C-alpha cells in the first residue's frame, strides 16, 4: 500500500508474512483451535524466518528494527483470521519478550535472548492477577530476598501462552509502597511454579491461557530483571508497544471482515437483487471502511511518533480505546450482513466476531484507557 510511513522494505516484510500465513496458518488453524494451542514447530519456523525478534539486537538474532517496522509486522500478522495464532505470536514478540530486551543484563540476554528470537523458548508475562488487571499496582504476588535467592509467592491469572511457555517474566511486590514491584525471570519447571489450570475462553481458541501458581518459588538473585523496585515503570513503558500491537490486531480484523463482507454482499441474492444493491448495506460498509482507514492512519502516526522518541501515552491510550471499540462495531455489523452463516462455527466471520470481543478488554479496558487520556488534559 502507498503510505507516507512505509518503505519498499516494509512491503516486502508484509508480503513475506502474507505468504507464511497462507501456507502455514490458515489451512491448519481450525485444528489448532480444537487443540487449544499453536504448535511450537510453527513458531520455530517463524523464528528461523527471522520474524520473532525484529526489535531485538542483531547480536542475539534480532533485526534492530524500529517501531514502524514492528507495526508493519503486527498488522501483516493480523491479516490471519485466527486471532489465537496472532496473539500467541504478539505476546512473545511485543508483550513478554521486550521485558528481556529492554531490561535484561548482558548475561541474561546471552542466556535467553537468542533462543527467544529463534522460537526455541516461547515467552509469557505474568502481571494480571485474580484481583488486579488493568490496575497493575494492585498486584499481591510477593518476592522476598532470602540469602542469594528470591522467593516468590502468589497467583497470576489470564496469562496468554501460560500453559506452554518456556520462560516467564513475573511481576511481584518487593516492598510496601503501591508501585514498589520488580520483574523476575522464572523458567518452566522451577520447583513450586505450576500451571494451576488452563482457562477456557470464548475466543482466541488456539491461544493457551493459564492461571499460574507460585508456591515458594526459589530463584537465584541473578533472575531479577531490571532494577529492584522499578518493575511498575517497566510494565508501563512496555504498555506502549503492547497497545499499538493490539490496535494492529483490531485494524487487521476490521480490514479482513470488511473484505470478506464486501465479497459476500456482492454475491448474496435477496429479494431479486444482491445485498450490495441495498443502499443501507453499502453505505454502512462504506462508513465502517472510512472509520477503519482513519484508525489505521492514527495507528501509523503513533508508531512514527515512537520512532521520534515522543511521549505519546495519551495518544496510544486513545488508539487502544478507539480500535478496541471500533473492531467490535465493524465485525458485528459484518457478521450481521452474513445472516445465519455468520453464526456458524468454523466460518471466518464468526471466528472474527468472537475473537474481536476481547480487544476492548485485554491490554487495558476501554474505560481505563479513557481515564488515562482524560488525566493528561
Provide the annotated active-site residues.
242
Distances, alpha carbon 300 to alpha carbons 18, 68, 306, 335, 351, in Å: 19, 7, 10, 27, 26
CA angle 7/10/11 to nearest 5° reads 95
Q: Which helix (H) or strand (E) holds 333?
A: helix 313-337
What is the distance between the alpha carbons of residues 98 and 234, in angstroms, rounded to a whole number?
10
Q: What is the DSSP letter of 308?
A: T
The two most distant CA atoms of the chain are separated, in Å, by 80
Strand ranges, E, within 72-231: 123-126, 142-146, 149-160, 167-173, 181-187, 193-198, 209-220, 224-225
How many other CB atoms are found less than 10 A from the CB of residue 227?
A: 12
Helix 83-90 to helix 231-267 angle, to the nearest 10 degrees?
160
Q: Which helix (H) or strand (E) holds 273?
A: strand 273-274
What is the distance between the alpha carbons of residues 230 and 175, in angstroms, rounded to a whole number?
11
What is the distance between the alpha carbons of residues 51 and 353, in angstroms, rounded to a whole number?
27
Tell which phi-psi region holds residue 154, choosing left (phi > 0), alpha (psi between -120 and 50) or beta.
left
CA angle 194/197/202 to nearest 5° reads 140
How many other CB atoms are found less than 10 A from the CB of residue 31?
A: 10
User: Considering only CA atoms, which of 74, 26, 63, 83 is closest in space to residue 296?
Assistant: 74
CA angle 118/103/119 to nearest 5° reads 10
Q: What is the DSSP letter of 52?
A: S
Burial 65-94 (b: 16+ CB within 10 A, else e): bebbbbbbbbbbbbbbbbbbbbbbbbbbbb
Amino acid at each position: 500500500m502507498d503510505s507516507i510511513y512505509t518503505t519498499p522494505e516494509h512491503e516486502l516484510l508484509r508480503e513475506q508474512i502474507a505468504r507464511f500465513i497462507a501456507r502455514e496458518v490458515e489451512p491448519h488453524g481450525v485444528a489448532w483451535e480444537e487443540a487449544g494451542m499453536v504448535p511450537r514447530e510453527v513458531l520455530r519456523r517463524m523464528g528461523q524466518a527471522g520474524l520473532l525478534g525484529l526489535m531485538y539486537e542483531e547480536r542475539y538474532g534480532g533485526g534492530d528494527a524500529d517501531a514502524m517496522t514492528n507495526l508493519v509486522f503486527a498488522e501483516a500478522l493480523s491479516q490471519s483470521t485466527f486471532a489465537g495464532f496472532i496473539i500467541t505470536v504478539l505476546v512473545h514478540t511485543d508483550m513478554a519478550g521486550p521485558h528481556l530486551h529492554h531490561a535484561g543484563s548482558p548475561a541474561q540476554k546471552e542466556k535467553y535472548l537468542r533462543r527467544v528470537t529463534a522460537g526455541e523458548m516461547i515467552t509469557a508475562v505474568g502481571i494480571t492477577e485474580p484481583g488486579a488487571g488493568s490496575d497493575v499496582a494492585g498486584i499481591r504476588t510477593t518476592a522476598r530476598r532470602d540469602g542469594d535467592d528470591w522467593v516468590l509467592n502468589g497467583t497470576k491469572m489470564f496469562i496468554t501462552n501460560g500453559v506452554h511457555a518456556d520462560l516467564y517474566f513475573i511481576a511481584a511486590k518487593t516492598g510496601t509502597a503501591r508501585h514498589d514491584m520488580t520483574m523476575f525471570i522464572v523458567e518452566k519447571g522451577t520447583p513450586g511454579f505450576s500451571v494451576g489450570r488452563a482457562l477456557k475462553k470464548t475466543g482466541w481458541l488456539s491461544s493457551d491461557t493459564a492461571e499460574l501458581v507460585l508456591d515458594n518459588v526459589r530463584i537465584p538473585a541473578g533472575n531479577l530483571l531490571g532494577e529492584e523496585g522499578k518493575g511498575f515503570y517497566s510494565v508501563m513503558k512496555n504498555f506502549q508497544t503492547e497497545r499499538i500491537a493490539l490496535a494492529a490486531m483490531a485494524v487487521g480484523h476490521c480490514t479482513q471482515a470488511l473484505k470478506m463482507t464486501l465479497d459476500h454482499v456482492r454475491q448474496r441474492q435477496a429479494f431479486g437483487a444482491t445485498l450490495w444493491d441495498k443502499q443501507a448495506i453499502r453505505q454502512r460498509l462504506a462508513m465502517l471502511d472510512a472509520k477503519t482507514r482513519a484508525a489505521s492512519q492514527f495507528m501509523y502516526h503513533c508508531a512514527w511518533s515512537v520512532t521520534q522518541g515522543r511521549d505519546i501515552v495519551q495518544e496510544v491510550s486513545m488508539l487502544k480505546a478507539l480500535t478496541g471499540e471500533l473492531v467490535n462495531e465493524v465485525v458485528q455489523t459484518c457478521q450481521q450482513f452474513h445472516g445465519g452463516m455468520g453464526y456458524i462455527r468454523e466460518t471466518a466471520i464468526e471466528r472474527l466476531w468472537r475473537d474481536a470481543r476481547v480487544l476492548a478488554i485485554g491490554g487495558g479496558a476501554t474505560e481505563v484507557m479513557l481515564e488515562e487520556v482524560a488525566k493528561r488534559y
